[in-house]
Amino acid sequence: MVFRRCRQLLRDGDAAMDVTQDVFVQLLRRRESLSEQYPSSLLYRIATNLSLNRIRDRARDPDLPGDELLDRVARHEDRDAPLLLQRLFGRHPESTRTMAVLHYVDGMTLEQVARECGLSVSGVRKRLRGLRGTLKAMEVL
């Protein structure tokens, strides 16, 4: 029942499986404060809320076009990689390099990067978009 609800909302079996597991984790965390009355309604409500949260998070931080290219550059093992990175980052402010490392290497969300760098989320997004544009113009990999 929980998995069906998650899959119905998320339209993705893998994401639905993850959220289904999260439902039962939430249930275990709050087991002392739960009432035994209407357990199926409780599971359904938790599944719905967590699925909607996942949809909202996905909409807030979509994979941006060009991310896979930056990811390949970050993982590319080549002796010329330092030169490539120097050419790429030489065209942007030092703070953009910091944002790129925080987001693409450390895996921080745009919101976390914005807080860390003292910019708005749209400012961070704009800087990373410029970096992706430079990378595409360089036509590497």
pTM of the model: 0.44
Dist. CA 7–CA 19, nearest whole Å: 9
**Nearest of 12, 23, 24 to residue 47 by alpha carbon:** 23
**Nearest of 61, 65, 60 to residue 132 by alpha carbon:** 65
Domains of the chain: 2-60 (no CATH), 67-138 (1.10.10.10)
2-59 per-position pLDDT tens digit: 999 999 888 888 889 999 999 999 888 888 877 777 788 888 888 998 988 888 877 6
Q: What pLDDT was estimated at residue 132?
A: 83
- Average pLDDT, rounded, for the chain: 79
H-helix or E-strand spanning residue 131: helix 121-138
